[in-house]
Amino acid sequence: MIPQTFEYTAPKTLEEALQIIAGGGKPLSGGMSLIPMMKLRLAAPDHLVDLGRLKDLHYIREEGGALHIGATTTHQDVASSALVRGKCPLLAQTAGGVGDPQVRNRGTIGGSVAHADPSADYPAAMQALEAKFVLKGAKSERTVAAADFFLDTFLTALEPGEIVREVIVPVEDGSTGTHYEKVVQKASGFAVVGIAVRISRKAGKIVWARVGVTGLANHAYRATAVEKGLAGTSGGATEVQNAAAVVADGIEANSDLHASAEYRKHLAVVHTIRALLAALARTA
Amino acid sequence: MNINLKINGKTHSDDVEPRLLLIHYLREVVGLTGPHVGCETSLCGACTVECDGKAVKSCTMFAVQADGANVTTIEGLAVDGKLHAMQEAFWNEHGAQCGFCTPGMIMASKQILDRNPHPTDEEIRMGLEGNVCRCTGYQHIVNAVRAAAKAGA
Ligand SMILES: Cc1cc2nc3c(=O)[nH]c(=O)nc-3n(C[C@H](O)[C@H](O)[C@H](O)COP(=O)(O)OP(=O)(O)OC[C@H]3O[C@@H](n4cnc5c(N)ncnc54)[C@H](O)[C@@H]3O)c2cc1C
Ligand code: FES
Ligand code: FES
């Protein structure tokens, strides 16, 4: 039993939910992070507003060359969606590796990005995909790029009263190969280090690369130095190794009981190489 | 708060505090002690039940979140005293030792075959990632799921 009492509302509409959240209510989606935090007394909300049961936040659709995913779409539904698997395979692969089946059945994409755990899987993919988040408040709506969204450990660009309403990711074209490679923290499944990669290769030359890194720093980031190092090359083994070598340059790496900062940086380089080679093998 | 839900086919209506976890509701209010509390920290899977056809850790859900849902616990698998094929398979293959993890293991195993009737051993193991067993070393559990798949569970 959670020691502290609280109020619970399952609103019928998004408008009703946003009204209560504007007044200080705390969003509850899958509860896969919030409920454990409440048990540990790290969170003690007065009023939970259950977004998880709002049907109109649970969708995946293709529109204008992008996939639009409602915030309460579960990891399981992202991972098993034919649309996501076909058109944004990096996201499907990432979702399929979050935690375990029971966690994926409840946890949501909106909850995961809003929570911004520095070891969460989705944020790496979001950086590599240059995803956009639609943030909605009772009287406002704005769209924020992933690059401007993840600010610090458990800290995002969300303002009080705002929720993540939708996640927008691109539809890949035929030239792109993608891969997510993570060093799994065995007990929970979280990433000690996770590397999300997209590479476009045409006529044997890398046109562009995108590399998102989670687990290493206070928040997921795009390793643009690696991306620059790859552009224009053919993606041979030496070129990949040289480009990957700088993935952790200038980064203040996390250190905890799972891995020291130095070891994390080492893991990041090794697994960036693996992720790049796997993604390259999937390019045309 | 009043909740109305179906548990193992039977309708229940109860007044509960929002902070009551689903596992405690099932065990202490409804009296279904099949689902176990192993860790209460979302890691062991002993509390796994089905909620609207999906395996969930009932220690990481409030009872109020199950309002209106259709819940199945291990007690609800047998029909008229005839065990579910997954229960038969765990029995035949010695998938249980002390039995503490077994109710959750069987519910998670059932989900594996519901989604993929012919899993590989690798897929079976991935499907049981959220469940911990201290006794069996898992091999007999994997054997049980494989046997149930063969039997067309
Ligand atoms: C055993 C276990 C293993 C896990 N393993 C992994 C793993 O390997 N990788 C990984 O990435 N994650 C892992 N997780 C975390 C999981 O992915 C959570 O689902 C996710 O972090 C939070 O999503 P949720 O929907 O459950 O959010 P909740 O727990 O409901 O909420 C989390 C936070 O976000 C806020 N929030 C929720 N929805 C919104 C919204 N739409 N807009 C704004 N704020 C919102 C809440 O108020 C709360 O502060 C694991 C969790 C568990 C219990
Ligand atoms: S008691 Fe629920 S996961 Fe262990
Ligand atoms: S049989 Fe004892 S914990 Fe699994």
Partners of A69 in the β-ladder: A60, A167
The interface predicted TM-score of the complex, written ipTM, equals: 0.97
Question: What per-residue confidence (pLDDT) applies to A250?
Answer: 94
Among the candidates B37, B59, B76, a domain finishes at B76
Distance from CA of A1 to the nearest CA of B (A): 6
Question: What per-residue confidence (pLDDT) applies to A188?
Answer: 83
Question: What per-residue confidence (pLDDT) applies to A284?
Answer: 73
The alpha-carbon radius of gyration of chain A (Å, integer) is 19
Three-state secondary-structure class, residue B121: helix
B103 and B57 belong to one structural domain: no
Residue matched to tokens 């080492």 = A266
B56 and B91 belong to one structural domain: no
B2-7: average pLDDT: 98
Among the candidates B76, B105, B123, a domain finishes at B76
Question: What per-residue confidence (pLDDT) applies to B153?
Answer: 65
d(CA A139, CA A161): 10
Among the candidates B76, B105, B134, a domain finishes at B76
d(CA A17, CA A25): 9
The size of chain B, in residues, is: 153
- Any idea which ligand is nearest the CA of B45? 2
d(CA B43, CA B45): 6
Angle among Cα A188, B119, B22 to the nearest 5 degrees reads: 45
B9 and B71 belong to one structural domain: yes
Q: Best mutation site among B36, B39, B100 for ligand 3, i.e. most ligand atoms within 8 A of its Cβ?
A: B100
B18 and B54 belong to one structural domain: yes
Which is it for strands B70-72 and B48-51: parallel, antiparallel or unpaired? antiparallel
Identify the band that residue A101 occupies on the pLDDT scale cut at 50, 70 and 90: very high
A75-89: average pLDDT: 98
Q: How many CB atoms lie within 10 A of CB A173?
A: 11
pTM metric for this prediction: 0.97
B6 and B63 belong to one structural domain: yes
B7 and B66 belong to one structural domain: yes
First vs last Cα of chain B: how many Å apart?
38
Domain encompassing residue B145: 85-150
Identify the band that residue A96 occupies on the pLDDT scale cut at 50, 70 and 90: very high
Token couple for A72: 């309460």
d(CA A128, CA A111): 19
CB B113 within 8 A of CB B153: yes
B102 and B68 belong to one structural domain: no
Three-state secondary-structure class, residue A153: coil
**Residue A252 identity:** E
A151-168: average pLDDT: 97
Query: Which CATH number does the domain housing residue B49 bear?
Result: 3.10.20.30
Three-state secondary-structure class, residue A74: strand
Measure Cα distances from A36 to A23, A44, B21, B60, B152 in Å: 24, 11, 11, 7, 37
Number of the ligand 1 atom closest to the C-alpha atom of A165: 41
Q: Per the structure, how many domains does chain B have?
A: 2
Query: Which CATH number does the domain housing residue B144 bear?
Result: 1.10.150.120
- pLDDT, tens digit (0-9, with 9 covering 90-100), for B69-95: 999 999 999 999 999 999 999 999 999
Phi, psi (degrees; rounded to nearest 5) at A30: -80, -20
Exposure class string for B53-75: b at 16+ Cβ within 10 A, else e: ebbbbbbbbbbbbbbebebbbbb
Token couple for A144: 């924020």
pLDDT at A1 over 80: no
Chain B interface, Cβ < 8 Å to A: 1, 17-21, 24, 40-43, 45, 48, 54-57, 60-62, 64-65, 67, 108, 111-112, 127, 129-131
d(CA A91, CA A129): 9
Three-state secondary-structure class, residue B151: coil
Nearest C-alpha in A relative to B48: A102
Residue A270 burial by Cβ neighbours in a 10 Å radius (0-12, 13-18, 19+): middle
**Residue A193 identity:** V
B89 and B68 belong to one structural domain: no
- pLDDT, tens digit (0-9, with 9 covering 90-100), for B90-119: 999 999 999 999 999 999 999 999 999 999
Could you tell me the domains of chain A? 7-50 (3.30.43.10), 55-170 (3.30.465.10), 176-281 (3.30.390.50)
